[in-house]
Structure 1
Amino acid sequence: MPGVTTAARAAVASLPKTPGVYRFRDESGKVLYIGRATDLRQRVGSYWSDLRGRRHLKRMVTQIVRVEAVVCDSVHEAAWLERNLLERSKPRWNRIRGGLEVPIYLRLDRRGGVPRLVVDYGPFTPDVQDVFGPYLGGTKARLALNGLGRVLPLGYTGDRLTGSERDMARIRGVDAADRDTLVATTAGLLRRERAAIDAVRELLTRQRDRASEGLAFEVAQRVQEELEAIDWLVAEQKVTVDGAADCEVYGWADDLLVRFHVKGGRLCTWTQRDCREANAQRFLERTPEAWAPFAARSAELASRLAVAHAR
């Protein structure tokens, strides 16, 4: 056993320093644990160094003989993929099926003549419009909501404001004539439109820098957290998309075939097996074009890890 666990530890060097999801297998091939990482190499390597608050996993580490991983396009995507996999199957060393974060949505509520961006949990009837998400992590979503309200004050563009609200509208420099522009920018950001994202980031960055220059460091820190939360919301994330079609996603590299199954808009299973190139082609043809880079990258990483384990 020491030989194979040493090989698993050595495979860490083959991991990229990018966001992703990893899993550990034991000698029989059984999955021991599934986790996510902002930096795959650092996170997986930490299991063989300082476990800190994860000391309960010390016995598990001695059983790891194989490391597998998938690179994701964002930390948010990695969080969703981990959740989806754990909802389908919870390995012994994972504590909670699915995870602690609650999926939420942001919705433009236009009732009362004053558009507002609100947190919602769904489900939604077919007639409900202007719904964005789902997002994973209510804390980050609410921080992002605060940041958007800071620079896109929709609440002060109503036609029937109180006296104090009119005063605040003057201070914020908005009125009813700005309503459509603010709504369009808000919706554009949540649709991940580059121009809207850049505009909001620039406005928040200016506020952060002004606060810092004025020695209001707590305010500056709060605005920085809001910026990071907005980056979380708008980051690429395709493993959980409401209404997306079911599909099979395949990647191949060096006689190793990686398969992902997308059901109900959720990437929910991940497997890999040996496969000759001639046999792989019919599977690769099933992969939707939008998924091809993700699948190819996953297969290349799986192949590198397989070679590392074989050394």
Structure 2
Amino acid sequence: MSDTPVPNAEIGESGAQQAADLEAAARAARDRVLAEVNALPALPGVYRYFDARGEVLYVGKAKDLKRRVSSYFHKNHGGTRIGMMVARVARLETTVVRTEAEALLLENNLIKTLNPRFNILFRDDKSYPYLKITAHAWPRMAYYRGAVDKRHKYFGPFPSAWAVKESIQLMQKVFKLRTCEDSVFNNRSRPCLLHQIKRCSAPCVPLGQTPEYARDVASAERFLRGETDEVMASLQEQMMAYAEAQRYELAAEVRNQIQALSKVLQQQVIEESSATGRDRDVDILAVKVQGGKACVNLAMVRGGRHLGDRAFFPRHVDDATAMQLDDEEAVSPERQVLEAFMAQHYLASPVPGLIVVSEPVEPGLADTLAAQAGSRVTVQAQPRGQRRIWQEMCIKGAELALARLLAEEGSQQARTRALVDALDLSVAEIDKFRVECFDISHTAGEATMASCVVFENHQMQSSQYRRYNIEGVVGGDDYAAMRQVLTRRYSKLAEAAQLGTGRLPDLVLVDGGRGQVSMAREVFEELGLDLGLIAGVEKGEGRKVGLEELVFADGREKVYLGRDSAALMLIAQIRDEAHRFAITGMRARRAAARTGGSRLEDVPGVGPKKRSQLLQRFGGVRGVAGASVDELASVKGISRELAEDIYRALH
């Protein structure tokens, strides 16, 4: 290879040629996009814009694809967000559909799948919980989340687990239905504590196996469906019948049920007299937009009972609400957010017959939801009477939830800024400031585990956490363990960063003092990384919280931030999270090692119910590990094949 220097003029000509080639490629891509736009049909459909790297920028729907998409490219949008987005479009895709309803559904399916930069996006939450009443000779009430089994009866959905559990407690007080697992129920010989405190009628023993239990189950189901007047009337009839038959103890029990149910109904915020007909199952939606953030508050009424509310916070609000074209009807940001929520939320959730909203929405949205639900759906923006009260309550909830979010985000940003300023770090964008923190955990040298936790965008990013099994080092040698984990973490990342395809953190924290920092320094020197990234969190005098000092690898003096420092509070939070993540991983690894294999929970096909049966049968994990395949297969619900899988996993 020649060492002859290249003249500066040649370097300049080469750079100019590269720039010209890039500009020509951009013009060619633009011409291709314009040609595709001109060839679009005047039909309803969905369009997607992609940048040069293939990342989706925007997903939209249109009654007329040709007219809508042309509006983006045949007008000068200047320096607006639309103009910025259009300038990045290198490719487009379209899908023609039959109706606007199909376009709406496809648009929001694609938004949830592709996560475009310029669309309002609501994150996918776990499925909603239900209250389940099992199909059993003596039915059981239970909290349930997951796929529906048609053999059982489900009531809900509920906005939160707390709402389900509160309803179960109510059912226990009024109707005394059992809540115990079938495995417990089948092995009872005498009533449990719940029977003694009058929360269960004890159908697990002959004493409680009476016809009245079936009556109570039926009353509970009717109550959950909102038929409260009918339930009260039925109980009144039963009480009078018992009294006439001079069965006064049973009459007194029914009287107590009526009193308990009356008390519950009086405590409901929604008046039962108004919760009739279509008002039995209602969703109330309120939206609030402020400070570049938005909140949609969902309040749920099921069976005429207010079950609570739940706040949702979408992403990309500022960019998405700025995508409105000049030739479109002006739509407020609140309406855009609300329509996006309704379209995305009800793709996977049951649609009630009545939805009360705080903002008028597109009329066709109700028709689309009705077509999906297979039943009539009414969307009402200007309700009266009791519905108006619900709406006002929901709006207030949205305002409070958004104010809380803005206050919390301001606090988080202030802590991040305090840390950056305290360490005099050079950070271009505070929202992208990234910290990775490492900790080592073991028990007397056994099952050594290293953790790496990530702080970015002003919060812990649990999806990016990593654990590392430490092998080949002397038990208890924390320095060697730290060397191994840092080498494994940053060797490939350093190469990617040099090629411009990866990003190093802005700060690397290690839980320890000068010894751990020296080890980190050696690793970073070997990899050619900046030593200024490393800081160690050293325990203060007496190892007291708030007295920690920061030790640096690049020769700077120790820094004591002060007990009340926001920067120290943030460092302590990150350090404690790394310690928690390491120690939980270490304990799991140690438990697996002591039972000769992986945990029982890791065996495919062994869910909570089967795991409980195995543990009860054999007295714990060690007992399960010591059982033979035949013994495992003798447990109810454990097939021969599954028994073999369990045996292999634990040996």
- Does the pair score TM above 0.5? no
TM-score range normalised by the length of the shorter chain: 0.3 to 0.5
What is the TM-score when the length of structure 2 is the normalising length?
Answer: 0.18
* Relative contact order, higher structure (CA 8 A, sep 6+): 1
Greater C-alpha Rg: 2
